[in-house]
Chains A and B, each alone.
Chain A
């Protein structure tokens, strides 16, 4: 028995007649989280976590037809029981749990297992079938614990301040930017680009409290941002806005920064392996905790990761999807197909 199939439009539940994170327009789309490769425009009706709603309205269309759920809340669609569990990826990210005649499937979207201080912490969900990502599905990717990671980043900022340099962070406007704001609160005055500011407002409309941050534009005087922290989306890497800042030291925050080759490829001053995806051990522990009989690997190191799962006795198959691609924020990322 199976309650999900993989179609050319996306992941489909035939019993419930809805799609999860479809990449082509459908009637009913259930959305795991607000990143553009998972939440695409064009569908008639959307169902997502309540924190994701304002993000979709901002990024797709304010007039979108959306209904929402909270974590652990349940609805039935055509006899299929649907509920959402925190995926720990970004604010509002949810694993979609489907149950039909006692059979359970979980579509996890993107996830990370460590609590990042801002996204609701990941919860493992028991299921028969588990759909997983594998963005960092190689054993070379093992993140430092959050406090160590941010300790290093704080040291870097302090060192920049000693040299009268402005610390510039390149991070996704949705997810990583807010995580950085939270983690760097108190180190310096925080400045963000408009795209991040808009998302901050959307996130705050849910009652989530974010640290104070000011807008940085081409008109912001250099003296205001000097020695402070500026967070910009990847598309702005190497643009005039950075050149305009007072002696900017630029750090790229991405899981790919774990490898020297990627760090050196970027003309940045530092690279921090800050990722909103599970690392190797996170992926394995999450998958084992589901107890799933069958695992589908949708994006990332799919071939390698599913081969390894099969070798350690977890039945796994690679499926081709459109996730991890065509994200409008991917410009400037070191390996632009996956994160």
Chain B
């Protein structure tokens, strides 16, 4: 446990990706073989089932530390993490227990089948034999993740560095349905029984934002315009009758989208398609908000699949009949893609991302104005003659996004953040003017620099008027520009209006509280966007 605690500590204090990778490599160097598999399991969401209810943990911790329940709650609020709070309030250890991570995990798994009394005895004994850092690890092994900034991708890169095996192959090897307790680390990362070559993706081609006048990029007929969808960019690979879905972050996300996995039976073999994973209902793209309900889930229930169906909007064809098509011009790739898609049997998952016909840039600009109605972020402009480049190449692909809405509002409430931000007031509520009163309209966090957060935090601490639990009412003085993607009527909000994805765009230090927008400004905006709203509701 000391090695693991040390390792977690190293990860925690490193801010750089390379330092984190080095920490993992160092750990892999020193731990016994049977612990390595648990490293992979813990950081890829294959942690053992929670065997002990966290409510019980909390209860026992309160009992043996002898503090009242409300005081524990205060501590929890200040620390922002249950496992850590418990580790800090427990009495000092009375003895020292040294065991491997795999031993702890096996014991925890065995104890989870026993009575609450047996669990309690086990946990209390462990707590009394571990120091603060080790207790934290122990509590996290029972339930909860290690938030130390290790993504799947980073872990794979570290294992690759340690083992010398190519990262994409390890990514493939790790994705299957292996069970940590029955798996050998070396066999797993070497991808025994797997053909890791077949999952190999191509690097994504990326676009630059269009900042110049659209007319300056050339003649309209040289360009293909599409909606810029706001989902998860993905690459679908079908080779040797197997399907793989890669995200732009080069993570294999196949199992997150069972409806797309079914495409294995309809797509031709040896093809790779670039596209966007979107929430789609009755051929209508839903907002990113809806898609979010489906992201980063290990298991997707039937109900979730029904409530938020997923579709794949195809942009481009990168491989066809096992042949790399990336050097062919877009026009040729596109017509083959169209043929391929139209030949598929009827289905409600694979769509062609529509090409928008336009005669002039002016016409296209008008079409772009309607992006919000499509739940799109604007337009993509791709040169018809362009190859499918590796990464970002200026001049071939442009993203022409629409501007978000924005208003100036004043901060009226502040609340401390969680985790890293638990000591700072980082979550704010903003208001606009309603006559001579203020009306809260949005809650937002982030969008400020660390330095600005400190400044606002300081302001809140000095200008708090009232406390409501963790919330502070503050003097309405700080003005912020709030950007948002949409506006809708809402019965649940006091203002009768709900903003979509509100975030702080910048701190308007130049503005005073009486210069902010009014609720009437927002109502006018709502009326002018009614049309878009109708699309949302499917009327």
Contacts and interface: CB of A to CB of B under 8 A. Distances in A.
Nearest to A336: B458
B107 interface: no
B423 A142 contact: no
Given A259-B88, A268-B13, A138 B75 contact: yes
Contacts of A336: 454, 457-458
Interface string B448-463: 0010001001100110
Given A139-B71, A261-B81, A256 B423 contact: yes
Contacts of B461: 337
Contact of B88 (A140, A264, A269, A270): A140
Given A142-B88, A261-B80, A267 B423 contact: no
Contact of B422 (A138, A261, A304): A261
B68 A259 contact: no
Given A268-B13, A336-B454, A260 B84 contact: yes
Between A264, A304, A337, the greatest number of chain B beta carbons within 10 A of the residue's beta carbon is seen for A264
Given A140-B78, A259-B78, A265 B88 contact: no
Contacts of B94: none
Given A260-B84, A262-B423, A336-B454, A304 B74 contact: yes
B13 A269 contact: yes
Contact of B71 (A261, A268, A269, A304): A304
22 contacts: A140-B75, A259-B78, A259-B88, A260-B12, A260-B81, A260-B84, A261-B419, A261-B420, A261-B421, A261-B422, A262-B423, A263-B12, A263-B13, A265-B420, A265-B421, A268-B13, A269-B13, A271-B13, A308-B68, A335-B423, A336-B454, A337-B458
A139 B461 CA distance: 22
B479 interface: no
Contacts of B78: 138, 140, 259
Interface in B423-440: 423-424
Contacts of B450: 265
Contacts of B422: 259, 261-262
A264 B12 contact: yes
Contact of B13 (A270, A334, A335, A337): A270
B116 to A, nearest CB: 25
B42 interface: no
B85 interface: yes
Contacts of B75: 138-140
Interface in A104-148: 138-142
Given A256-B423, A261-B419, A304-B71, A267 B15 contact: yes
Interface in A248-287: 256, 258-265, 267-271
CB-based closest 7 A-B pairs:
A140-B88, A261-B422, A264-B420, A337-B461, A139-B89, A140-B75, A335-B423
Contacts of B420: 261, 264-265
A219 interface: no
Contacts of B68: 308, 311
A138 B80 CA distance: 14
B280 interface: no
B85 A140 contact: yes
A169 to B, nearest CB: 15
Contact of A140 (B15, B89, B421): B89
Contact of A265 (B71, B92, B424): B424
Contacts of A142: 88, 92
Contacts of A139: 65, 67, 71, 75, 88-89
A111 B476 CA distance: 37
Interface string A308-339: 10010000000000000100000000111100
Interface string B61-95: 00001011011001100111100110011001000
A12 to B, nearest CB: 24
Contacts of B71: 138-139, 304, 308
A261 B13 contact: no
B111 to A, nearest CB: 26
Contacts of B15: 267
Contact of A258 (B12, B81, B88): B88
Contacts of B458: 336-337
Nearest to A262: B423
Nearest to A249: B13
A259 B133 CA distance: 11
B458 to A, nearest CB: 6
A265 B426 CA distance: 12
Contacts of B419: 261, 264
Contacts of A258: 88
Contacts of B80: 261
B79 A140 contact: yes
Nearest to B148: A264
B521 to A, nearest CB: 36
B89 A259 contact: no
A261 B423 contact: yes
Contacts of B79: 140, 259-261
Interface string B136-164: 10000000000000000000000000000
B89 A265 contact: no
A138 B13 CA distance: 24
A49 to B, nearest CB: 30
A271 B9 CA distance: 11
A259 B13 contact: no
Contacts of A271: 13
A141 B75 CA distance: 10
A263 B133 CA distance: 13
A269 B16 CA distance: 11
